[in-house]
Structure 1
Amino acid sequence: MTLVKICGIKNLTEAVWAGKCGAWAVGEVFAPSPRRIEAEEAAAINRELKDGILKVGVFVNEELAEVKRIVDYCRLDLVQLHGDEAPEYLAELSLPVIKCFSLKGPPDPDYLRRWRPYLYLFDTCSTAVRGGSGRSFNWEWLGELPPDIEFILAGGLNPGNVGTAVRRLNPLAVDVSSGVEYPGGGKDPLMIEAFINEVKEADGDVSR
C-alpha cells in the first residue's frame, strides 16, 4: 500500500485518529508555521501513541544540536528536513531522514543522490512557506525518475486528487497537511478518513 503521512498534527486526538484510519506516520512541525508545535506538546502526544504509527519531526534550517535534543525529548522516529541542509548535515543524524526538495522543474537524480536520505520528499516550491502551501506542482516533472529514487509526494494533495496522483506516479508515500484541514485550521477527521480511503482505492489499480 502507498504509505500516508498526515503532517501538521497539533494534538493527540488528531494523531490517534490518523492512526486509526491507517496512516503510516504523523508529522510534527518544529519550524515557523501556523502548524508549529512546541516540543513539550509533541512529547506529551508521543508518549500516548502506540508503536504502530511513526512520529516525524519537521525542521527547517535548525541547529543540529537542537534537532538532536528534540528527537530525544519527543521520542521521534524520523526527521524531515525542509530547509537548505547540506548532505553533511544529514550524516550527523542517527535517525532515518526524509529530505524535502521544493521543485521548480524536473529534479536531477545525480544532484538528489548527494544527500543519500532514507526517503526523498518532493513538494511545491513557494517563496512564502516551506511546505504546507496547499499548491501542487507539475507531476510530469517526476516522470523520468530512476527507480532507486524512492519518494514521498507532497504539495496540494487532498481527497479529490490523491487517487490520481497515486495511479500516475506510484509514489512510496503521500504527505498531506492543508488538504485535510478545516478552513480555519485543524485537521478534519472526515477528510483524513476520505484521503486514506482514496489512497487505498487507488492502490488497487497500481501494481508494485
Structure 2
Amino acid sequence: MTKIKICGLSRKTDIEYVNKLKPDYIGFVFAESRRKVTVDQAEDLRKGLDKGIKTVGVFVDEPLGSLIYISERLRLDVIQLHGNEDFPYIKQLSAYEIWKSIGISGFEDLKRMEDQPVETILVDSKVPGALGGTGQSFDWSLLDGTSHRKKIILAGGLNPQNVSEAIKQVKPFAVDVSSGVESGGIKDFYKIEEFIRKVRNI
C-alpha cells in the first residue's frame, strides 16, 4: 500500500488532525518557507504526535552540525534533503533514513535521480527559483519504468482530486502533500481526510 506523508505541519491543530487521520509520515519544514518551524516549535508539536506516525525533517543546504543537532533533538525518523547536499555530506548522515529531492522537468533529470547516493528519491516539479513546495505538478509519464531502481516518493501538485490517478500511473512508494490539503494556507481536516481515503482505497 502506498505510504502517505502530510508535510508542513506548524500548528497544534495540525497535530490533532493527523493523530485522528493517521498518515504514515508528517513533515516539519526547517527551510525558508511560510511553513517553516523552529526546532523549539517542532519539539513542542512532536510531543503531542501519535507515536505510530513517523517524523520527517525537511532541510535545504542546512549546515551539517545544525542538521544533526535538530535531528537528534527531535529524534527524527527521516531526513529529507532539498538542496545541493553532496555525497560526503550525505555520508555523515548514515544513522538516518535519507530522502533526497530531485526536481523533474524532463528526461535529463532522471539521470540525476539515478546518481543520488540514497535509496529513496522524492520527485517534485522543477520550478526556476524554487526548491520544492510549489504546489505544481509535472508530467508523471517521465517516471515510467524508473520506480524499480529507486523507491519513489511522488510530490508536487498532489491533491484529493488527482492523487488516485497519480498513484495508478507512477506506483510510488509514497505520496507527499502539503498545499494540496490546505485551505487559505492552513491545513484542512476534510481535505487531509479525503486525500488519505483516496490513497487507501486504491
Q: What TM-score, normalized to structure 2?
A: 0.94
Q: Is the 8 A contact 2:3 2:174 kept in 1?
A: yes
1:72 aligns with 2:72: yes
Does the residue aligned with 2:99 lie in a helix, a strand or coil? strand
- 1:149-160 to structure 2, matched below 5 A, reads 149-160=150-161
Instruction: Give the aligned residue type for 2:103.
Output: S
Instruction: Give the aligned residue type for 1:13.
Output: T
Instruction: Give the aligned residue type for 1:145.
Output: T
Q: Is the 8 A contact 1:107 1:142 kept in 2?
A: no
Q: For 1:155 and 1:34, how far apart are their aligned partners in 2? A: 17
1:152-174 CA-to-partner distances (Å, cap 9, x unmatched) read 00000000000100111111100
**Deviation for aligned residue 1:112:** 2.9
Q: Is the 8 A contact 1:159 1:179 kept in 2?
A: yes
1:147 aligns with 2:148: yes
Q: Is the 8 A contact 2:119 2:150 kept in 1?
A: no
Q: Is the 8 A contact 2:61 2:85 kept in 1?
A: yes
- 1:64-143 to structure 2, matched below 5 A, reads 64-93=64-93, 94-106=95-107, 111-143=112-144
1:57 aligns with 2:57: yes
Aligned twin of 1:44? 44
Instruction: Give the aligned residue type for 2:84.
Output: D
- The range that moved more, 1-10 or 11-20, is 11-20
Q: For 1:95 and 1:142, how far apart are their aligned partners in 2? A: 26
Q: For 1:6 and 1:128, how far apart are their aligned partners in 2? A: 23
1:181-203 CA-to-partner distances (Å, cap 9, x unmatched) read 112x11001000000111112x2
Instruction: Give the aligned residue type for 2:16.
Output: V
Does the residue aligned with 1:70 lie in a helix, a strand or coil? helix
Does the residue aligned with 2:183 lie in a helix, a strand or coil? coil
**Deviation for aligned residue 1:108:** 6.0
Q: For 2:54 and 2:29, how far apart are their aligned partners in 1? A: 14
RMSD over aligned CA atoms reads 1.5
Q: For 2:147 and 2:13, how far apart are their aligned partners in 1? A: 39
Does the residue aligned with 1:175 lie in a helix, a strand or coil? strand
Q: For 2:35 and 2:115, how far apart are their aligned partners in 1? A: 30
Any gaps of 5 or more consecutive residues in structure 1?
204-208
Aligned twin of 1:34? 34
Aligned twin of 1:17? 17
- The range that moved more, 71-80 or 10-19, is 10-19
Q: For 1:108 and 1:88, how far apart are their aligned partners in 2? A: 21
Instruction: Give the aligned residue type for 2:144.
Output: G
Q: What TM-score, normalized to structure 1?
A: 0.91
Q: Are residues 118 and 13 of structure 1, via their aligned partners in 2, closer, same or farther at CA, if it must alter by over 3 Å?
A: farther
Does the residue aligned with 2:186 lie in a helix, a strand or coil? coil
